Amino acid sequence: MKTQVGGSRCTFLCISICLGEDYDLDDKTGLGRSFDGIGSLSGGGATSRLLVNYAEPYRSQILDYLFKVCFLHLEGYEWWLMKEAKKRNPNITLIGLPWAFPGWVGNGENWPYSFPDITASYVVSWIFGAKQYHDLDIDYVGIWNERSFNSKYIKLLRYTLDKSGLERVKIIASDNLWEPISSVVIADKELQDAVEILGVHYPGTNTVPEALKTGKKLWSSEDYSTFNDNVGGGCWARILNQNYVNGKMTATISWNLVSSYYEDLPFERDGLMTAKEPWSGNYVVESPIWITAHTTQFTEPGWTYLQTVGHFTHGGSYVALTDERGNLTIITETMTHDHSVCIRPPLPSYDVTDQNVTFHLKGTFASISELQVWHSRFDFKTNKTALFQNIKPIKVTEGSFSIELDVDEVYTFTTVRNGQRGSYPDPPPSAPFPKSYKDDFDVSGNPYFSEAPNFADQTGVFEYFTNQTDPGPHVSTLRQVVTQRPVTWVADADQTISVIGDYQWQDLMVSCDIYMESVHAGGVFIAVRVNKGGGVVRSTRGVFLWVYADGTYKVTNDLNGMTVLAEGMSGTRARVWYTLTLTVKGNYASADLDGYPLWKNAVLWEPRHGWAAIGTSSFELAQFDNFAIEALA
């Protein structure tokens, strides 16, 4: 970095290598839009699932990085996570956005709008439950993530909220594309009154004229979704500035908050930081965390953008915000194309070069004499990236200062003096999932978390259960509790499944006590080498051992149960506990029921590795106990 005070252009080295331009920052002609914050989504795939299993102090350290040290999040998933966020930032904004709905909302249809009064009542009940049971005030609610909206439903939701005394809860629509929601809002006065925010997903920093014509606040209500290496950090830096410069969007919300899910699930490491090893305590504060701090440590929701924001002549962008009480914060970014590509949409080519810029502070900012400086530089050649460094303040002389901007840099210049780069001692080193693992699901009293550590539900819900009817050995179990297929967002499996372990496991022995509750129709499985989850769970392959309440068993190579490796009679029935053991070595699989062989040496070829899993053959009640894994290779 080279700096020069006053209004003169570059000297010495800058004469030959730098391009100089002047930019005014002025509030005399009025201000721009109000800044609403930077946030993140937790959910849409159980993205924070493993976070709750971290031991202290590492769990609190991660939460501090997410909610205290750096920035405001707009949050929408687990009750525990929202409460932890509120502890660290009482002013945090909470948003609820349905990805799916309970099956009864659709009354047998995979559609939430056939009975809009039922859907609206469900959403309002959820908001009341947040307050009654968790003391959480939900501030905004969405319609249906990236799916069709229904104007009748939106109006009815607004009416139901108001009738229930929830006038303060505002509606975001439609968490999809700019159109058709923008045009429909313009044409429908009642809908216009019902909707507070136009929220769009992955806008590529651009808006459309109709959205601006609505006069509504515009948010990028889901964005980023990019691998969180330094290119991901560059993507985040570019869109945080340019979502406002290009699209007048006053909030940008990242999917997702924290990559706290098994890394081989879809969208690996797409969080702002990574915390996927509760068994080791390891976590990584990735570059997007510090890029976020460039804005959120020196502004607050309610600050206002200046109208004088824009693009640098030689590439990059700048924004400036004020609290209208004399404070000023300027954020610049000069991210090059290849070092700031987001996962979507495609990024058109553009050029950025080293340049010298001079800012002229005018209006109420003309008397500023010094600015604090925070700097990040992405170094893609020598891997000497430096993030969110507090460097020497810059003097402002006669209302002007100059700065030489290299490519792939982010700067904050601010009158705010309380910025900090919070840090903790390094966490423990990374380690694979334990090769020997057991869980008897025996939790005393009323467990704070309802899900067992390290199990990641892909379809269905597996929760701790106290079995009041059991005489002794199976009082505390894990129970699959969803009994009706939800109104789904993606093509979820017809079976329920929860995965656990190391995706690289090949040879493995898994055992588990199982209990079918559905007479005649019940069925459960244990599995190894499970190779898929998330939105592609329907095509999951692996080695699945099924037993059924009709007295049969089968071994399949897929979750759908279509590729049968072995089958026969098991004598199993509902409401009896059995112990299943499944062993896979190389190309052969065998299984025991209560210690007696069901079959030996079934031949299999694919997949070669994957997680362990438990699940049910349909949406039905079933229990699991004394789960154990021994990884053999």
| Catalytic residue list | 146, 222
Sign of CA dihedral 545, 103, 253, 61: negative
**Which residues lie closer than 8 Å to 111 by C-beta, 6 or more apart?**
487
User: Read out DSSP for 563-629?
Assistant: SEEEEEE----TT-EEEEEEEEETTEEEEEETTEEEEEEEE--S----EEEEEESSS--EEEEEEEE
Contact between 173 and 181 (Cβ < 8 Å): yes
Contact between 552 and 570 (Cβ < 8 Å): yes
Other C-beta atoms closer than 10 Å to the C-beta of 367 total 9
Buried/exposed code over 191-212 (b: 16+ C-beta within 10 A; e: otherwise): beebbebbbbbbbbbebbebbe
Distances (CA, A) of 59 to 22, 43, 48, 88, 136: 46, 18, 12, 13, 21
Query: Which residues are paired to 412 by β-bridges?
Result: 331, 374
Distances (CA, A) of 622 to 150, 181, 203, 540: 37, 43, 43, 21
Sign of CA dihedral 62, 65, 67, 73: negative
3-state class (DSSP) for residue 166: coil
Q: Residue 17 is encoded by which pair of tokens?
A: 């290598």
Q: What is the dihedral of CA 227, 231, 232, 236, to 10 degrees?
A: -170
